[in-house]
Amino acid sequence: MFQRAELERFCEHCNRVARSARVAATLFCLVIGATACVNFRAPTEATAKRMPPVVVTRPDGDVGSVRPDMRPMLPSDSAYFRAHPLMVPVEGVQPSELTDTYHAARSGGRIHMATDIMAMRGTPVLAAANGRIIKLANSGAGGIGIYIADASGRYVHYYAHLMGYAPNVVEGLQVQEGDVIGFVGSTGNASPDAPHLHFQVTRSDANYWNGTPIDVRGFITKPGRMRN
């Protein structure tokens, strides 16, 4: 057992060692920090090109972003879609899996104004409601797409970035909710690494390709399920 005097001398020795260690640690950090500052170089253009690209998991296309302002849904729109809810237009996707991409920012201060539904390439794309195919389109932005006028004639559904159409799809074809009309892809300006369906609903108060977009995500309440 230590005597009191021996214990005090031992503690004083420990304190001196600790103080010396702190001083040494401080000097070490100063030397290392100075060395790091001397050796640091900002990335050059050549090294920047060798850096791996940032992986974007969500597409950043401008399809549907034709207006910088926000157009609120009219009471008549809300009443219509409460009475006629939509199906998720991708097989196997639940309404709870949808996220708010309608308000996502795009270049030039624009707003996305559509719902992007991520899915594996080749997943069946379904008609969200009864209607008639009015145009099969292929553009640089939207890629392979379909415009469908709903049964009321008041709204147009736009399906974009498709891998391709279903075999029976032609302009003028009457479709029913759940019919397979195409397949999820990444044509147009969609990222090849992020296949998805760009789904937009517009009020057909203008040309079918340039109506007023409305946010219907809250009315897409039926799970995506192919019609038998």
Decide if 199 contacts 221 (C-beta within 8 A).
no
Q: Looking at the chain, how many residues does it have?
A: 228
**Beta partners for residue 117, in sequence order:** 197
Look up residue 29 and give its two tokens.
Answer: 């950090």
Which tens digits make up the pLDDT trace of 146-186? 999 999 999 999 999 999 999 999 999 999 999 999 999 99
pTM of the complete model beyond 0.75 = no
Q: List the one residue out of 90, 104, 58 whose CA is nearest residue 215.
A: 104
Decide if 115 contacts 218 (C-beta within 8 A).
no
Alpha carbon distance 193, 93 (integer Å): 19
For residue 84, what pLDDT is reported?
A: 97
Q: Helix (H, G, I), strand (E, B), or coil: what is residue 109? A: helix
Alpha carbon distance 141, 144 (integer Å): 9
What does the pLDDT average to over 194-206?
A: 89
Query: What percentage of the chain carries pLDDT values higher than 90?
Result: 48
Among 43-47, 86-90, 184-188, the minimum mean pLDDT is found in 43-47
What does the pLDDT average to over 185-212?
A: 88
Q: What is the largest CA-CA distance in the chain?
A: 103
* Rg of the Cα atoms in the chain: 30
Most confident of 31-45, 67-81, 202-216: 202-216
Decide if 175 contacts 131 (C-beta within 8 A).
yes
Band the pLDDT of 33: cuts 50, 70, 90.
Answer: very low
CATH number of 75-222: 2.70.70.10
